[in-house]
Structure 1
Amino acid sequence: MKKWMKVSMLLLLTAILIVPLAACGKDEMQNVRIAEVTRSIFYAPQYVALEKGFFEEEGLKVELTTTAGGDKTMTALLSDSADVALVGSETSIYVSAQGSNDPVINFAQLTQTDGTFLVSRNKIDNFSWDMLKGKTFLGQRKGGMPQMAGEFVLKKHGIDPHADMDLIQNIDYANIAPAFASGTGEFVQLFEPTASVFEKEGKGYIVASFGTESGHVPYTTFMTKQSYIDENKETVEKFTRAIYKAQQWVETHSAKETAETIQGYFDNTELDIIEMVVDRYKSQGSFATDPILDTEEWENLQNIMDEAGELPKRIEHDTLVNTEIAEGVMK
């Protein structure tokens, strides 16, 4: 009897151990490390994908890190500290121009316009772009998409940013807003939610949108190395499907619902400001509603870079953009 009980206990313990192991094998998650260039409401669909469990539905466990700057983000990707980078598509062109043997491929677009706004120190009821002539303009870092898109828009309105205004470009991204708040410049190019916060606090007034003026462009895109796609094609497909689900969710839900979903990523920003920013980005079509980066957007990007004198060489759309993955998950 005792021997039978020992055998029964042994079988029971074996079953207890085997079941969790089997479950682990069945529900094993694939880890994906994202390096985002900055933390921004501009990237709302990404945070929706995380909060709504769209990545988990695809069997992905995502680790998100903010790397603060395009150069640092690309370094993280190239050094294998990240699997996927969320950054401006211009960075993939810069890497390609340096002769990389493992090109960085844009596979899922997140935003499709510039995300900055022109903020005036003084309230202007009837703004016109020529009001910037002769004024001090606090711009973005040279060579980055905000600066290039900003200069593209200024030239579109007949303003030479280097001749018709006092252009300041030597202030780090993190210090641009504080510099303006402390009295530097009469106009400044700012991202949200800073632009709306300044307006609410009376520190500045939004007078124009660079996103509306510059047209569709692959401003922020998920990209990875070609070798990663070759070795993890199914993972990249699952990742893209999760992003597409989030893009559709943001498109079909109110700005308030989106703001409430992503609020945890912006602890220092009030909910009404987040909602206002989401609504502003939605109304001007900044959030891409699908992950496809098309040829027209790619050419517009290179035209903007060329106009700013930052395009090392023209690169064909198919060389650095993979639309097959996005097209496949949308079917």
Structure 2
Amino acid sequence: MISFHISATGHSLNYLPEYVAVWQGYFEEEGLKVTADVPRPWDLVLTALREGTAQAALGGIWVPSMYLGRSTRFTPFAQVAARAPLAIVGREDPVAFRWDTLPGKVVLMKGSNGASVGLFFKLCLREQGVDPQAARYIQDLDGAMLSELFSGGMGDYLVIDYPNALRMEADGRGQVVQALPVTGGNVPWSVYYAEGESDPDRRKVQSRFAAALNRAMQWVRGRDPEDYADFLAATFPGLPIEISIAAVRTYVAHGMWTTPRIDPEAYTRWQRGIADGHLVTAPIPYDRLIDPVPTSGWQ
């Protein structure tokens, strides 16, 4: 049995296939003993890779993108989440929401645990024909703090993770005016990456990891989450079970968990957002950053 440790930037519902693969024994069937931790602060995942205490980090592809050619080479080799698990919370009826009314509005979105939320929201604005600079942002605070302040009247919109947006709506503290897993399109949101360049031995292990992850994705897509509600409740004790079930149904219906392969078209789209956020000087070609070999069996 080969030990395979993941240092993750969070413990999240959109990582569900990984947890299912452990629970169902899929990793073990591939000869892997998979463990995971969530260090604080989140960037300690990079230390774990450099020191060799983790075989993969799990998080945003913007990290290996901005490090490429500047510092340590981090190589993405698989994805777990193919859509942004975010929502825009407002105060109006959702049918009244229009992207072109956002100029001049104050948008709250967390910036304390990475860059993905702001990068994606601004990418969506540009794709909707809205200049991101026309809106105003409160972006340097923790998400829980911003949620509390939004409920108290701060700002016009809040960009937050989808499950907690559903909880705010259920509590009467706002309206989900855009569910971005539904309307936001595909991007390689959460990926696994390793330190350094790939080699044949490492690829063999990563391929076995991806095979188990793919089986777990198929398992999740083939079942209603009510059928494994006890597992969801135990894995995400901070979320009401009805919220977890609703979010999983939405994720499955709209392609959150399709394949461990990082899709080139979705990658190219996300690279535009990363470049527009000035984390890279220009979008990075797929074959310069991604190792496609471990997931070459899936399209």
TM-score scaled by length of structure 2: 0.90
- How many residues in Structure 1 have an aligned counterpart in Structure 2? 298
CA 1:84/1:68 → structure 2, altered by over 3 Å: closer, same or farther? Answer: same
Q: Give the Cα–Cα distance (whole angstroms) in 2 for the partners of residues 192 and 88 of structure 1.
A: 17
Correspondence for 1:249: 219
Q: Does 1:220 align with 2:197?
A: no
Is this contact kept in 1: 2:143–2:160, CA < 8 A? no
Q: Does 1:140 align with 2:121?
A: no
TM-fit CA distance, 1:318: 1.6
Name which of 15, 24, 27 aligns with 1:52: 24
AA partner of residue 187 (structure 1): Y
Structure 2 letter corresponding to 1:152: L
Gaps of 5+ in 2: none
Instruction: Return the match for 1:323 from 292, 295, 298.
Output: 292
Of 280, 285, 290 in structure 1, the residue corresponding to residue 259 of structure 2 is: 290
Partner of residue 8, structure 2: 36
- Structure 2 contact 94–178 (Cα < 8 Å) conserved: no
1:74 pairs with 2:29: no
What is the SS of the residue equivalent to 2:186?
Answer: coil
2:86 to 106, 116, 126: 116
Aligned to 1:94: 66
Matched residue type, 1:206: V
C-alpha distance in structure 2 between counterparts of 1:312 and 1:68, whole Å: 29
Partners of 1:241 and 1:215 in 2: how far apart?
Answer: 25
Taking the aligned partners of 1:75 and 1:144, their CA distance within structure 2 comes to: 19
Match in the other structure for 2:231: 261
What is the one-letter code of the residue matched to 1:181?
A: S
Task: Tell me the residue number matched to 2:172.
Answer: 202
Which residue pairs with 1:157 in the alignment?
A: 128
Distance 1:304 1:69, change over 3 A: farther
Distance 2:229 2:78 in 1: 23
Q: Does 1:312 align with 2:281?
A: yes
Q: Which has the higher helix share?
A: 1
- The DSSP-based 3-state class of the residue aligned with 1:133 is coil
Determine the structure 2 residue equivalent to 1:14: none
Map of 1:270 onto structure 2: 240
What is the rounded CA distance, in whole Å, between the counterparts of 1:178 and 1:54 in structure 2?
Answer: 40
Match of 1:105 among 65, 71, 75: 75
Deviates further, 291-300 or 189-198: 291-300
How far 1:189 sits from its partner (Å)? 0.3
| Residue identity matched to 1:95 | Y
State percent identity of aligned pairs: 27
The answer as to whether partners of 1:47 and 1:262 remain within 8 angstroms in 2 is: no
- What amino acid is aligned across from residue 130 of structure 1 in structure 2? D
Provide Cα deviations, 1:51-106, integer angstroms capped at 9, x if missing partner: 11111222221211123565333333233232111111111111213143xx2211
The answer for the alignment partner of 1:17 in structure 2 is none
Amino acid at match of 2:124: V
CA RMSD of aligned residues (A): 2.4
CA separation in 1, counterparts of 2:263 and 2:94?
37
Cα drift, residue 278 of structure 1 = 0.5
Displacement of 1:219 in angstroms is 0.8
Shift in CA distance, 78/94, structure 1 to aligned 2, threshold 3 Å? farther
Q: Aligned with 1:109: secondary structure?
A: strand
| Max Rg structure | 1
CA drift at 1:244? 0.8
Task: Give the structure-1-normalised TM-score.
Answer: 0.82
Moved more, 182-191 or 72-81: 72-81
Which deviates further from its counterpart, 224-233 or 103-112?
224-233
Distance 1:212 1:198, change over 3 A: same
CA distance in structure 2 between the aligned counterparts of 1:30 and 1:316, rounded to whole angstroms: 32
- Look up the SS of the partner of 2:255 in the other structure: coil
| Counterparts of 1:229 and 1:30, CA distance in 2 | 17
CA distance, structure 2, for counterparts of residue 114 and residue 218 of structure 1:
8
